[in-house]
Structure 1
Amino acid sequence: MVSAVFFDTVYGYELKSLDDQFFTDIITMNENVTESMMPSIASFLVNVFPCLQYIPEWVPGAGWKKKARQWREQKDRTIDGVYNWTKQRVINGVDDYSIISSTIKDALQTGHNQTETEKLAKNFGAALLVGGSGLDPIAYRPLKLDQSFRAPHTCTQDDEYQGYRIPKGAIIIGNIWAITQDKEFYEAPETFNPDRFLDPSVPVPPVFGWGMRTCPGRHFFQDLFFIQAVLILATFKIGRYIDENGEEVEPLWKIAVVSAAARPSTFKLKLSIRSTQRAELVQMTP
């Protein structure tokens, strides 16, 4: 649902299948992005030692540069593909009121610089693609969404922090984990306590970034997550998995870290339809 609404709203494209080329390309792009952010030797040590970016691709041990080049080409194809599809529809006179088509149409009508407009529209779409479309729906109410929920910044001027000199142009990666562990704002941060956000003085975790690099689609995706949570809770009763002996199985709460994004490990649960009407609704859903 989240991806389908995203495609329709941003690009005016109807996503009918998870095997759709546009969708699978985005999934691949998101996987590449998250893997590229890992600082391990097996992936991209250049994230830890930026000077490695100057090593030629043919040098032994620099295979990551070839991989990065291939991933960039895949990223460009992904972003250009769905963008060009929408652009062609605008040229053909189709008006679907999507965000990207409206941006292109306004530029054509007002005579704005088309190159700059295309760059803006592509970057905006790309930010949304990486920032939200690959996220899994979370079946909790808004406070739990905040409890369970980005990219490098560049220092705009010479600065100093706790005795460390940070020169202008330096790459800065915010430590979201450290921010969310600050006990001055989050009491018992390791405890799952959605009610903490009832206190207006408790800041919302910065999972969508901050400053000029804040995800432009954060409100859009938060609303989508909320709708998804409401639909799931209104349709299903969610409980512990019942094994073959009729005993409830307590889920093992483990975090799987397979890329730059951590997520809960897979576990079994029990879903029960709340009513006959809702069962019919589920059967009607493709």
Structure 2
Amino acid sequence: MYPINSFCGVFLFFCVLILSTVIRRRRERRLANPKNLPYPPGPKPLPILGNLFDLARDNEAATYYQLAEQFGDLFFLSVFGQNVLVVNSFQTANELFEKRSANYSDRGRSTMVHELMGWEWSFAHMRYGENWRAHRKIFHQQFQQSVAPTYWPLQIKEAHSLLRRLLRAPQDLTVHMRHTASSIVMSVIYGISIAPQNDPYVNMSEKALDGMTKAANPGAFLVDLVPLLLIYYSAWFPGAGFQRKAYEWKKACLEMRDAPFDYVHRALKSGRASSCFVTNAISNLDTKEPQPKSLDIIRQCAGVAYAAGAESTMSTLTTFILAIVTNPEVQVKAQKELDRVIGHRRLPEFSDRPSLPYINAIVKEVLRWNPVAPLGLPHMVTNDDEYKGYFIPAGTIVVGNSWRILHDPLLYQEPHKFNPDRFLNTAEGLQFSPVDPLSVSFGYGRRVCPGRYMAEAQVWISIACMLSVFDITPGTDINGEKMTFEPAFSSGMICHPLPFPYRIQARGEFATALIDQTEDIAA
């Protein structure tokens, strides 16, 4: 045990440290704002602590939605001198992230995420600059819109595998969705087929991504707001659990990045590797003997592709099931369209897409109704800026409030209702144009998700196939009565539906036969 006097002395030291940090940052802000412009509106800060208690640590979407209703298009928070700007309207997001993208494309450095958890290698978290551009170039070459169709055969295969798993064990929905999402990404990125259960690659990635979803939002850990705490915070001090958590998360993070890449690299040298993102990227290098730096860039691009793709696809497909359970009329309309266009003779294919506008609309509405990343990854302002008479200091963390934008009643009538009809006039394909508000479901400006075309294609084929052969209905209790519930979602950077009662069964003998036939094709 430590003496009381020692504990009080350490506590007093931290108070002085925080106070000095606040004073220094306020002095820097005054020097940078010669016009003495006001900051954007926001809740009134407390002395020293600022808006510490206004930062959401759970239920982020609802918390920032309420603040957006109170303060409008954007609101401003400051905690220990660190500024956070939350953007709540599509117009403002387009103005800052698109039209001023050179100044709003940077990332802040998170002590927890970068230094303690080891994510500094991820180009999604990199500072905006030449190193980021080198990573982005590799990613763009392999996942641009014109290349996306090359992945369709593999995506169809994984969609069929999902049908078989749901037919045989419909009660294991979460397991199947995670397996499908992980399987397609591992196949595309590394050419690796994962085990049906307890795959080591999947297990290590789940642990790494669990840490990321908990740590990525501003203010999730105090050490991000006062980085010097890392130097002076002893592991025994109350609240120092962040160090122990970070150690475990870092270990999983680096294993997720390195283990599958090393496997493929060894297979490539021995001539046993199959075509995939990693082998294609290495083959595209100018030299026969790749330099370590080039291999590191490919390794890191592959790791972030898996991290982003697996978790987001799982969330989106589970959200689709929840939406159908709570809106049975959507399923009826979708199955009528599928039966009219395809009938009961085969499963949907990508070539059917132009003839299935309602299925396209469902995909759009799933992305809108519950965006995978309600707040996305925060950007950072590179240089001081002025917007509508407000001063936005350099170094300000800028958060796109995607959930609020996609539930803006000025853009979407009855925004909390799941209604694919709203997209029927624009549902033929998804171009993700920056002028379309739905584009924010994949990020903002130059930091938009580069794998969005492949990801959306996997969601489309999976949804079309599931609706063609399954009836998805609410779960029932022991008396056979339909169970009622309110849709609910997890907190964190990646948002998942919380468990809900459902029932999945084949639409008839034709559906069972079609699903069984996919096993023969796969073999």
TM range (shorter): 0.7 to 0.9
CA contact (8 A) 1:57 1:65 kept: no
TM-score between both structures, scaled by the size of structure 2: 0.48
Q: Distance in 2 between matches of 1:158 and 1:102?
A: 41
Q: Does 1:182 align with 2:404?
A: no
Q: Give secondary structure in 1 for the equivalent of 2:413.
A: coil
Q: Distance in 1 between matches of 2:457 and 2:197?
A: 22
Q: Does 1:93 align with 2:326?
A: no
Give 1 or 2: higher helix fraction.
2
Q: Give the aligned partner of residue 188 of structure 2.
A: 9
CA contact (8 A) 1:155 1:172 kept: yes
Q: Give the aligned partner of residue 34 of structure 2.
A: none
Q: Distance in 2 between matches of 1:260 and 1:242?
A: 32
Q: Give secondary structure in 2 for the equivalent of 1:242.
A: coil
Q: Distance in 1 between matches of 2:226 and 2:400?
A: 17
Q: Distance in 2 between matches of 1:131 and 1:20?
A: 18
Q: Does 1:252 align with 2:485?
A: yes
Structure 1 segments unaligned to the other structure (5+ residues):
none
Q: Does 1:56 align with 2:232?
A: yes
Q: 1:115 to 1:71 in 2, by over 3 A?
A: same
Q: CA deviation at 1:230?
A: 1.5
* Equivalent position amino acid for 1:29 in 2: A
- Which of these residues, 106, 114, 120, is aligned with residue 297 of structure 2? 120
Q: 1:179 to 1:114 in 2, by over 3 A?
A: farther
Q: Give secondary structure in 2 for the equivalent of 1:172.
A: strand
Q: 1:36 to 1:240 in 2, by over 3 A?
A: same
Q: 1:62 to 1:241 in 2, by over 3 A?
A: closer
Q: Distance in 2 between matches of 1:147 and 1:271?
A: 24
- Which of these residues, 443, 446, 455, is aligned with residue 209 of structure 1? 443
CA contact (8 A) 2:282 2:290 kept: no
CA contact (8 A) 1:242 1:248 kept: yes
Q: Distance in 2 between matches of 1:202 and 1:241?
A: 36
* Equivalent position amino acid for 1:91 in 2: K
Q: Does 1:222 align with 2:456?
A: yes
Count the aligned residue pairs.
Answer: 280
Q: CA deviation at 1:23?
A: 1.0
Q: Give the aligned partner of residue 250 of structure 2.
A: 72
Q: 1:282 to 1:256 in 2, by over 3 A?
A: farther
* Equivalent position amino acid for 1:147 in 2: R
Q: 1:73 to 1:212 in 2, by over 3 A?
A: farther
CA deviation profile, 1:156-193 (whole Å, cap 9, x unmatched):
333234513221x4433322223223333233322222
More relative contact order, 1 or 2 (CA 8 Å, 6+ apart)? 2
* Equivalent position amino acid for 1:267 in 2: F
Q: Distance in 1 between matches of 2:247 and 2:469?
A: 45
Q: 1:19 to 1:283 in 2, by over 3 A?
A: farther
Q: 1:199 to 1:97 in 2, by over 3 A?
A: same
CA contact (8 A) 1:22 1:82 kept: yes
Q: 1:275 to 1:191 in 2, by over 3 A?
A: closer
Instruction: Note the 1:29-40 alignment, pairs <5 A.
Output: 29-38=208-217
Q: 1:225 to 1:5 in 2, by over 3 A?
A: same
CA contact (8 A) 1:12 1:98 kept: yes
- Which of these residues, 124, 142, 153, is aligned with residue 363 of structure 2? 142
CA contact (8 A) 1:11 1:99 kept: yes
Q: CA deviation at 1:72?
A: 2.2
Q: Give secondary structure in 2 for the equivalent of 1:173.
A: strand
Q: 1:106 to 1:93 in 2, by over 3 A?
A: farther
Q: Give secondary structure in 2 for the equivalent of 1:77.
A: helix
Q: CA deviation at 1:238?
A: 1.5
* Equivalent position amino acid for 1:125 in 2: A
Q: Distance in 2 between matches of 1:53 and 1:118?
A: 35
CA contact (8 A) 1:197 1:204 kept: no
Q: 1:113 to 1:245 in 2, by over 3 A?
A: closer
Q: CA deviation at 1:282?
A: 5.7
CA deviation profile, 1:101-149 (whole Å, cap 9, x unmatched):
1112222x53586233223212322322222202322347323333333
- Which of these residues, 386, 394, 406, is aligned with residue 160 of structure 1? 386
Q: 1:236 to 1:88 in 2, by over 3 A?
A: same
Q: Distance in 2 between matches of 1:261 and 1:24?
A: 17
CA contact (8 A) 1:256 1:265 kept: yes
CA contact (8 A) 1:46 1:52 kept: yes
* Equivalent position amino acid for 2:192 in 1: Y
CA contact (8 A) 2:384 2:391 kept: no
Q: Distance in 2 between matches of 1:245 and 1:170?
A: 56
CA radius of gyration, larger in: 2
* Equivalent position amino acid for 1:32 in 2: G
TM-score between both structures, scaled by the size of structure 1: 0.84
* Equivalent position amino acid for 2:421 in 1: D
Q: CA deviation at 1:50?
A: 4.5
Q: Distance in 2 between matches of 1:246 and 1:66?
A: 47
CA contact (8 A) 1:79 1:126 kept: yes
Q: CA deviation at 1:237?
A: 1.0
Q: What is the Cα-based RMSD across aligned positions, in Å?
A: 2.9
Q: 1:183 to 1:240 in 2, by over 3 A?
A: closer
